[in-house]
C-alpha cells in the first residue's frame, strides 16, 4: 500500500514558497558565516523574508576529500530536491557544491530535472545556466581550482612539515623555518638508508625491516617504507621525474644514496608490500575471548606471516591466526546461507515496516490538523495582536519542520519495501561461491553479531538465528 497521495499533495503546498540555501567550508578554521552573510544580503535586497528560507550547511567538510553522500548538509539538500521541496537554491559559489567535475555534473542534472532555480551570490560569479555544456565547463574550472588548492597545500606540507620527520628538528617560523638533523637519531637513519642501498632481494629487505624496526620507534612496516621513499631526507622535493633542492633542509643522506634506495625499492617493493599486508591484515569482526568475554587484541605477524588475536586479559592460551579465523568465517557462512528462510524473514520485516508506516501516517495527519487549526486561529486575530500572531507563526514553522521529517521517514519506509525485494533477488541469485571476498566480509557483519574464540573451537552468535532452518529441505 503506497502513501496517501492527497496527503503528499497538501504537504507539498505547504512548502512551495520555501527557499533553500547551502554553505560549506573545508576546515574548522574557515568562517562559514561569511557565506551566510552574503546570502542574507541577497535575501534582504530581494525582499525575501527569513522565515521563508531554510539554511543548510556543511562545516569542516572538504569537497576534495569527501564524496557527495558523505556531506550531511548536501545529502539532505539532494533529498529535498528529489522530493520536489526546493524551488529556489541560493549558494555563494559553485565550488561550494562540488570540486569534482563528475559530481558537479550529477548535481546539475538533478537541479535541471526538478526545475530548481539556482542563484550564486559571489561577486562577479557567472549566473547558473540552463545549458548543460556551459555548466559542465564551470564544473571543470571548479575542479581545477580545487586541485590547485589541494596541490598548493600538499606542496607546503612536503616542504615545511609542521611536525618534523623522524631524525629532524625544526627551528624558526614561516619562511625562516629550517630543518636540522637530530644528532641522536640521524646517524641511525643514515645507516639504515645505506644498508637498504645494498640490498638485492625482497627477502633481504624484509629481514632488514624486521631488524631495524626499533630505529623507527616501532612504526608499522608500511610506514617505514614511506620514510625510505621520502626525498626530504636528502634535502630535496620531487616534482614529476625531477628532484629540486630544498635550501632550508640540511640532508641526512646525499641524493645519490636516495636514488639508489629508490631503485632497489622499485625492484622488490611489490613483494615486500604483499608480505607487509599479510602481517597487518585483520579479521572483519574482532573476536571475543570465550573465558572473560573481552575483545581480543590484534598482534602483527612476522613479515609474510598472518597476524593473530590473543586474549588481552591473561588467557594467553586463547589465540587464533587471522587467516585461520577468516577461513572459518567463509566456511561457516557458506554452510548457513543455504538454510536462510527468506519468506519468514521478509514476512517479519514487512510487519515491522507496516506498523511503523501506520504510526507515521497517523502522526502526519495529526500534525496537519494542528497546523490547519493554527491557521484558522490566525485568521481570527486582529493586526494589533502582534505577539500572538508571531507566536502562532513560530508554532506553525516548528510543526512544518516536524511534518517534513515525518514525510522523509515515510519515503524511506517505501524505499525499504523496494530494497527488501531487491535483497531477496540478490540472495536467491547469488551463489555464495560466486561472491567476491569483500562482499563476503560485508555479509559476515550483517549475519554475525559476535564471535567467541576458545582453545579448540569458534562460537558464532547470529542475531537472525530464528530465520535459519535446522536442515536443508
DSSP conformation letters of 77-129: HHHHHHTT--SEEEES-HHHH-SSHHHHHHHHHHHHHTT-EEEE-STTPPPP-
438 and 371: one domain?
A: yes
In a domain, residue 360? The reply is yes
- Give the pLDDT confidence of 148-205 residue by residue, as tens digits: 444 444 556 677 787 888 889 989 886 688 999 999 999 999 999 999 999 888 888 8
Amino acid 29: pLDDT = 46
In a domain, residue 173? The reply is yes
213 and 81: one domain?
A: no
DSSP state of 344: H
In a domain, residue 324? The reply is no
367 and 420: one domain?
A: yes
In a domain, residue 323? The reply is no
213 and 85: one domain?
A: no
Distances from the Cα of 275 to the Cα of 130, 196, 207, 301, angstroms? 54, 17, 11, 10
Q: Is the pLDDT of residue 7 over 50?
A: no
Amino acid 426: pLDDT = 57
Q: Is 300 in a helix, a strand, or coil?
A: coil
In a domain, residue 301? The reply is no
Calculate the average pLDDT of the chain: 78
Amino acid 219: pLDDT = 76
Amino acid 188: pLDDT = 92
Q: Number of H helices and number of E strands within the chain? A: 14, 14
Q: Is the pLDDT of residue 44 over 70?
A: yes
Q: 352 exposed, middle or buried (CB, 10 Å; 0-12, 13-18, 19+)?
A: exposed
Give the end of a domain, one of 238, 263, 280. 280
CA distance 420 to 342: 10
CA distance 368 to 404: 11
| pLDDT tier, 4 (very low <50, low <70, confident <90, very high otherwise) | very low
Amino acid 445: pLDDT = 59
Q: State the pTM of this model.
A: 0.40
The count of structural domains within the chain is: 3
Please list, in sequence order, all residues whose beta carbon lies within 8 angstroms of the beta carbon of residue 471, skipping any fewer than 6 positions away.
339
Amino acid 61: pLDDT = 57
CA distance 473 to 471: 6
Give the end of a domain, one of 280, 295, 318. 280
N-term to C-term CA, the chain: 33
Give the end of a domain, one of 158, 193, 221. 158
Amino acid 431: pLDDT = 40
| pLDDT tier, 14 (very low <50, low <70, confident <90, very high otherwise) | very low
370 and 257: one domain?
A: no
100 and 22: one domain?
A: yes
Amino acid 301: pLDDT = 74
The domain in which residue 181 lies consists of 168-280
CA distance 380 to 394: 17
In a domain, residue 238? The reply is yes
Amino acid 21: pLDDT = 92
- Give the pLDDT confidence of 330-359 residue by residue, as tens digits: 788 777 777 777 777 778 778 877 888 898
Amino acid 69: pLDDT = 59
Q: Is the pLDDT of residue 70 over 80?
A: no
33 and 138: one domain?
A: yes
Work out the average pLDDT over 96-123. 83
CATH of the domain at 249: 3.90.1750.20
Amino acid 422: pLDDT = 65
| pLDDT tier, 443 (very low <50, low <70, confident <90, very high otherwise) | low
141 and 39: one domain?
A: yes
204 and 108: one domain?
A: no
118: number of Cβ within 10 Å: 20
In a domain, residue 287? The reply is no
Q: 124 exposed, middle or buried (CB, 10 Å; 0-12, 13-18, 19+)?
A: exposed
By percentage, how much of the chain surpasses pLDDT 70? 79
| pLDDT tier, 305 (very low <50, low <70, confident <90, very high otherwise) | confident
Distances from the Cα of 82 to the Cα of 16, 111, 116, 356, angstroms? 14, 9, 10, 23
Residue among 401, 409, 405 at smallest CA distance from 357: 409
Instruction: Say which range, 147-161, 162-176, 279-293, 368-382, has the weakest mean pLDDT.
Output: 147-161
216 and 100: one domain?
A: no
379 and 247: one domain?
A: no
CATH of the domain at 132: 3.40.50.1390
Residue among 261, 252, 255, 232 at smallest CA distance from 184: 252
Cell of 148: 590547485
CA distance 410 to 361: 8
Q: Is the pLDDT of residue 425 over 90?
A: no
CA distance 93 to 119: 9
In a domain, residue 413? The reply is yes
32 and 151: one domain?
A: yes
Amino acid at each position: 500500500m503506497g502513501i496517501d497521495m492527497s496527503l503528499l499533495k497538501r504537504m507539498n503546498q505547504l512548502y512551495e514558497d520555501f527557499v533553500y540555501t547551502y554553505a560549506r567550508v573545508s576546515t574548522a578554521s574557515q568562517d562559514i558565516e561569511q557565506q551566510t552573510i552574503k546570502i542574507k544580503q541577497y535575501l534582504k535586497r530581494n525582499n525575501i523574508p527569513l522565515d521563508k528560507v531554510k539554511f543548510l550547511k556543511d562545516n569542516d567538510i572538504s569537497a576534495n576529500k569527501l564524496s557527495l553522500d558523505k556531506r550531511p548538509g548536501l545529502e539532505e539538500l539532494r533529498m529535498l530536491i528529489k522530493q520536489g521541496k526546493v524551488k529556489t537554491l541560493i549558494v555563494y559559489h559553485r565550488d561550494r557544491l562540488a570540486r569534482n567535475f563528475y559530481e558537479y555534473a550529477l548535481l546539475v542534472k538533478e537541479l535541471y530535472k526538478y526545475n530548481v532555480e539556482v542563484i550564486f551570490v559571489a561577486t562577479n560569479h557567472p549566473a547558473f545556466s540552463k545549458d548543460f555544456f556551459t555548466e559542465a565547463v564551470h564544473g571543470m574550472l571548479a575542479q581545477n581550482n580545487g586541485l590547485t588548492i589541494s596541490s598548493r597545500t600538499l606542496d607546503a606540507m612536503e616542504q615545511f612539515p609542521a611536525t618534523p620527520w623522524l631524525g629532524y628538528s625544526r627551528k624558526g617560523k614561516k619562511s625562516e623555518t629550517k630543518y636540522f638533523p637530530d644528532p641522536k637519531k640521524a646517524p641511525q637513519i643514515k645507516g639504515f638508508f645505506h644498508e637498504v642501498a645494498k640490498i638485492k632481494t625482497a627477502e633481504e629487505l624484509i629481514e632488514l625491516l624486521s631488524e631495524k624496526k626499533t630505529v623507527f620507534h616501532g612504526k608499522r612496516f608500511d610506514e617505514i617504507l614511506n620514510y625510505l621513499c621520502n626525498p626530504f631526507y636528502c634535502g630535496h622535493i620531487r616534482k614529476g621525474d625531477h628532484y629540486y633542492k630544498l635550501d632550508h633542509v640540511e640532508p641526512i643522506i646525499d641524493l645519490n644514496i636516495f636514488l639508489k634506495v629508490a631503485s632497489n625499492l622499485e625492484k622488490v617493493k611489490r613483494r615486500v608490500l604483499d608480505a607487509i599486508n599479510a602481517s597487518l591484515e585483520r579479521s572483519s569482526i574482532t573476536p571475543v575471548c570465550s573465558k572473560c568475554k573481552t575483545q581480543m587484541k590484534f598482534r602483527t605477524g612476522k613479515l609474510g606471516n598472518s597476524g593473530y588475536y590473543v586474549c588481552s586479559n591473561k588467557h594467553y592460551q586463547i589465540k587464533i591466526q587471522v587467516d585461520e579465523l577468516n577461513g572459518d568465517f567463509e566456511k561457516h557462512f557458506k554452510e548457513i546461507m543455504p538454510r536462510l528462510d527468506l519468506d519468514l524473514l521478509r514476512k517479519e520485516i514487512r510487519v515491522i515496516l507496516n506498523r511503523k508506516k501506520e504510526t507515521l501516517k497517523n502522526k502526519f495527519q495529526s500534525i496537519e490538523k494542528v497546523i490547519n487549526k493554527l491557521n484558522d486561529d490566525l485568521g481570527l486575530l486582529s493586526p494589533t495582536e502582534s505577539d500572538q500572531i508571531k507566536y502562532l507563526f513560530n508554532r506553525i514553522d516548528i510543526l512544518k519542520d516536524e511534518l517534513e521529517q515525518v514525510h522523509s521517514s515515510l519515503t524511506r519506509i517505501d524505499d525499504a519495501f523496494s530494497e527488501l525485494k531487491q535483497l531477496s533477488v540478490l540472495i536467491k541469485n547469488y551463489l555464495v561461491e560466486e561472491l567476491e571476498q569483500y562482499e563476503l566480509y560485508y555479509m559476515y557483519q550483517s549475519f554475525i553479531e559476535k564471535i567467541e574464540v576458545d582453545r579448540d573451537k569458534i562460537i558464532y552468535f547470529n542475531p537472525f538465528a530464528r530465520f535459519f532452518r535446522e536442515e536443508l529441505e
